[in-house]
Structure 1
């Protein structure tokens, strides 16, 4: 069954085919050479291939728009496509952030090593086909969601070792979402909101003591030079609050059906490439940290138990929080709808052995079901 959705068509529609044979601009806050930028280059190649050369993509890493600028810049047409980190904009994207925050569930599932692969598939399936609120909030920002991405699990990367509740007491932790803010508070630390581009400086200048992030960022963001200890055992969860290839709505509407299908096929390629690169990048990042003499630690018994208790309770807290804070009346229903989708994707990705296999899985299970003639129009 094809997925069909329709939001604010009158505001977005342009003549079909108006951007055919055109090079589109892609903005990302990640630096050149990072895994996310390499995946964007894969996306550009896939767009050209699937469109028969009618569509190209020029990637602008850490230049055209920063993470903090991408949402509004994409809305205003400063780029055709961009990586929208929705957690930066909680009021604009509450539905998307709600389902992304459920990622701490992966810390308790039997999914070690495939968390990001599963979550990217589950997010794409639910946003494309089940989350009307997600698509509506993207449409309100003049954007169309065309694919998902997810990090590997989040852990603590700190200037000094942190293994216990006492160690964490009073520490300033850079967080990338409110679930980690709540965790920081639960374990006696202080959550700090800081753009990813500013984390290096924040650690080097003592503005923050730790960053809660994924292992690939040890090398992707150069954190290897400013951290002294890494604990990837806690708090867990993945970063999935993304519209990593969101498209300006006029750009999307200006494509013909073949162009939109090419964009969706390229979206599946991007999702697979970036998620797979992050899985491989986690191993490289940790190995590089060890070679640098950075201390590898694990949470002590008190911190591990506090984290487990927090995750068990936070599922209910998330629904209550988004209901009271952002007026999402069906927050509990969204949680209930998403959990079996995540479970399904944990099973689907358990035996995936390559990015190519993952791309085919994403295409067959999700992206090919999107009706390019009506979706986002």
Structure 2
């Protein structure tokens, strides 16, 4: 890491969440075996919850001989989604799952980098490159540390496609279509190609299709067979590769908890996080393959974008991803967006190269790569200890 400035916010400010206070849930020193809290707002059956939280917590407990035992709170039961980072900093949880876009003013770097996946629409690359950057570059590390938490690893959803009623292959096909966009770069790209953006929560996409109020949604393909099970209401998937979502942290550590661990325990957490990150991305990828196969079997058409649509996307990316630099400066307060993007792009390039020729379902090979390139390069006696 290039430099780590000591500008962390004091930990321990009073915060009442879900009827709990710091007085009843303190950040304990892990000298003896006891149970700690991990908070996520995701559902219990979500891939991230299962692979990166529940299975991770079980593996940590076993590897530590029971010394580090996490109770996993799901669905925002312990801390609401938007408050997870603050609640973790204040010790309500010792580990928290937080989405950076929920607190844009607190995490300007993470939010400024949230659309870089449009340049490299690859879930594995973005999960690993983003984690690598946040843990090795001072700008990324301090984005979280100044909020009183320590970044312990990231994630990425699958890339987004257009799931549609009817068949849409060309740029002309999409003009005027009512499309549910998840915001950010996806919404700006929708404006670029002339769709009519529709604001629909993910939980209501199925109903919107049934009522005819949307023609398409920009979503990852796992939504075809899980969650909203959109395979029942769409006719086609336009396989235009758009950015995945990755702007968040899978394991944000409470500072007193992290600093109270031994070096061996911190290394153990890193080792299990490398395994869990890989498990999560492999499971996502397998689910995408299965969802597309099931959709094809049911008669949903998988459509490759024609040249007009693909070229429009490529040109939009080349022209600045819909003004992403201006947004970084004006909305997120990044004084030199070009320098920030220039510091992040080598991580994307690095991981594109590292992933070439690697079996994306070989968990052992991928874990070895993630450990070697991200976690093993960090000194656990110093990382997060300032």
Which deviates further from its counterpart, 259-268 or 221-230?
A: 221-230
Which deviates further from its counterpart, 36-45 or 64-73?
A: 64-73
In structure 1, what is the equivalent of residue 104 of structure 2? 90
In structure 2, what is the equivalent of residue 11 of structure 1? 10
* Higher percent of residues as helix: 1
In structure 2, what is the equivalent of residue 50 of structure 1? 63
In structure 2, what is the equivalent of residue 259 of structure 1? 265
- Judging changes above 3 Å, is the alpha-carbon distance between structure 1 residues 5 and 46 closer, same or farther for their aligned structure 2 residues? farther
User: Alignment partner for residue 59 of structure 1, among 44, 59, 72?
Assistant: 72
The 3-state SS of whatever aligns with 1:216 is helix
Q: Is residue 373 of structure 2 the alignment partner of residue 365 of structure 1? A: yes
The 3-state SS of whatever aligns with 2:356 is coil
- Judging changes above 3 Å, is the alpha-carbon distance between structure 1 residues 101 and 293 closer, same or farther for their aligned structure 2 residues? same
In structure 1, what is the equivalent of residue 16 of structure 2? none
Contact in 1 for aligned 2:108/2:333 (Cα 8 Å): no
Which 5+ residue runs of structure 2 have no aligned equivalent? 13-25
In structure 2, what is the equivalent of residue 270 of structure 1? 276
- Which TM-score applies when normalising by structure 1? 0.85
User: Alignment partner for residue 114 of structure 2, among 93, 97, 100?
Assistant: 100
Which 5+ residue runs of structure 1 have no aligned equivalent? 108-114
- Judging changes above 3 Å, is the alpha-carbon distance between structure 1 residues 62 and 11 closer, same or farther for their aligned structure 2 residues? same
Which deviates further from its counterpart, 154-163 or 188-197?
A: 188-197
Which deviates further from its counterpart, 148-157 or 287-296?
A: 287-296
- Judging changes above 3 Å, is the alpha-carbon distance between structure 1 residues 328 and 10 closer, same or farther for their aligned structure 2 residues? closer
CA RMSD of aligned residues (A): 3.0
Which deviates further from its counterpart, 336-345 or 170-179?
A: 170-179
Q: Distance in 2 between matches of 1:201 and 1:241?
A: 28
Contact in 2 for aligned 1:172/1:209 (Cα 8 Å): yes
Which deviates further from its counterpart, 288-297 or 263-272?
A: 288-297
Q: Is residue 318 of structure 2 the alignment partner of residue 312 of structure 1? A: yes
Q: Distance in 2 between matches of 1:333 and 1:270?
A: 32
Matches within 5 A, 1:129-278: 129-130=136-137, 132-192=138-198, 196-197=202-203, 199-200=205-206, 203-204=209-210, 208-224=214-230, 227-278=233-284
Q: Distance in 2 between matches of 1:205 and 1:343?
A: 43
- Which TM-score applies when normalising by structure 2? 0.83
1:147, distance to aligned residue in structure 2 (A) = 0.3
Which deviates further from its counterpart, 363-372 or 152-161?
A: 152-161
Which deviates further from its counterpart, 176-185 or 6-15?
A: 6-15
- Judging changes above 3 Å, is the alpha-carbon distance between structure 1 residues 118 and 372 closer, same or farther for their aligned structure 2 residues? same
Q: Distance in 2 between matches of 1:239 and 1:12?
A: 29
1:106, distance to aligned residue in structure 2 (A) = 1.9
Q: Deviations over 1:152-208 (max 9, x none)?
A: 221112344333334433444343452212111101124456554554555555565
Alignment size in residue pairs:
368
- Judging changes above 3 Å, is the alpha-carbon distance between structure 1 residues 120 and 10 closer, same or farther for their aligned structure 2 residues? closer
In structure 2, what is the equivalent of residue 112 of structure 1? none
Q: Distance in 2 between matches of 1:200 and 1:30?
A: 19
In structure 2, what is the equivalent of residue 355 of structure 1? 363
The 3-state SS of whatever aligns with 1:84 is strand
Point out which structure has higher relative CO (alpha carbons under 8 A, 6+ apart): 1
In structure 1, what is the equivalent of residue 42 of structure 2? 30
Q: Is residue 125 of structure 2 the alignment partner of residue 126 of structure 1? A: no
Contact in 2 for aligned 1:3/1:375 (Cα 8 Å): no
Q: Deviations over 1:111-170 (max 9, x none)?
A: xxxx2222222111111111x333333234332210011222211123443333344334
Q: Is residue 346 of structure 2 the alignment partner of residue 346 of structure 1? A: no
The 3-state SS of whatever aligns with 2:304 is coil
In structure 2, what is the equivalent of residue 111 of structure 1? none
User: Alignment partner for residue 374 of structure 1, among 373, 382, 386?
Assistant: 382
